[in-house]
Amino acid sequence: MVLKKKDFIEVEFTGRIKGGEVFDSNSVEELEKLHAGHNHPIERKPLVFCLGEGMFLKGVDNFLIGKEVGEYTINLSPEEAFGKRDPQSIRMIPLKNFQGHNLNPIPGSVFNFDGKLAKVLTVSSGRVIVDFNNPLAGKSVEYKIKVLKKVENMNEKIKALNEFFFRSDFNFKLEGEKIELDVPKEIEKFAELFRDKYHEILGLKLVLKEALEKPIEKKESEVKEAVENIKEKKSVSSKKK
């Protein structure tokens, strides 16, 4: 069965810097290595995404389209992976900007600047040098991908999109060619931005309803974090326009 654009697939994956350390994985074996010494069970979280829709690294997407269910090793250059390092993404920020928010920048710490993460490089003479480059920019990477299956179940597809767009498992109801999605009132306008994507990818009309219950299997703290993540994502989107 050849994989095509807009197919949903479930994968197990491990990404590592070429010849170096693992930077991302949902493999139990790799997670156990990363968390060696911890006394809590490791649970594999399945990853389901739609091919060709920007839900995974583009270089991996492009490789898998036209392939079949199975295991692959994918080598990507910096340009195919996280891009080249951009010297213009290293900037100076006055120390008082941090102090005004009761923040203490130290080399190696990471801060969120209006939705963009930046790593502190140096602090001296009232100036903080920060790097907005992706930590993996300029690096060749290798992905080991096991395509477990092509996902056909519509509920699984909807859950995958909800997780990708909103980083949360909101309650939903599928009725014919319509999805009724329960979302918190404060993100309803943001959720409106994805109506076309649900129709384009799934062929379904998205109808938003104010959530009367908490998202499935989410604690209150996790719900608050999801809302903050969505607000942060909205800020990034508005700046790109």
pLDDT recorded at residue 233: 43
Per-residue confidence band for 193, with pLDDT thresholds at 50, 70 and 90: very high
Q: Over range 5-10, report the average pLDDT.
A: 97
What's the CA gap between 40 and 179, in Å, rounded?
A: 37
**Domain ranges, ordered by start, for the chain:** 1-84+139-152, 87-131, 153-241
Cα of 227 vs its chain's centroid, Å: 15
Return all residues near 214 (Cβ < 8 A) that are at least 6 apart.
220, 223
- What is the CATH T-level fold of the domain 1-84+139-152, as seen in this structure? Chitinase A; domain 3 (3.10.50)
Element (H, E) at 206: strand 205-210
Q: For the beta carbon of residue 177, count every other beta carbon within 10 angstroms.
A: 10
pLDDT recorded at residue 168: 87
Q: Over range 151-177, report the average pLDDT.
A: 93
pLDDT recorded at residue 225: 52
Q: Contacts by 177-180 with C-beta closer than 8 Å and gap 24+?
A: 177/203, 177/204, 177/205, 178/204, 178/205, 178/206, 178/207, 179/204, 179/205, 179/206, 179/207, 180/207, 180/208, 180/209
pTM for the whole structure:
0.76
| Sign (positive or negative) of CA dihedral 207, 210, 211, 212 | negative
- What is the CATH T-level fold of the domain 87-131, as seen in this structure? Thrombin, subunit H (2.40.10)
Counting residues of the chain whose pLDDT is more than 90, the rounded percentage is 68
Per-residue confidence band for 140, with pLDDT thresholds at 50, 70 and 90: very high
List, for residues 19-65, the tens digit of each pLDDT value: 899 999 999 888 877 766 666 666 667 899 999 999 999 999 999 99
Q: Which CATH class is domain 153-241?
A: alpha beta
Residues listed for the chain: 241
What's the CA gap between 72 and 76, in Å, rounded?
A: 13
pLDDT recorded at residue 214: 54
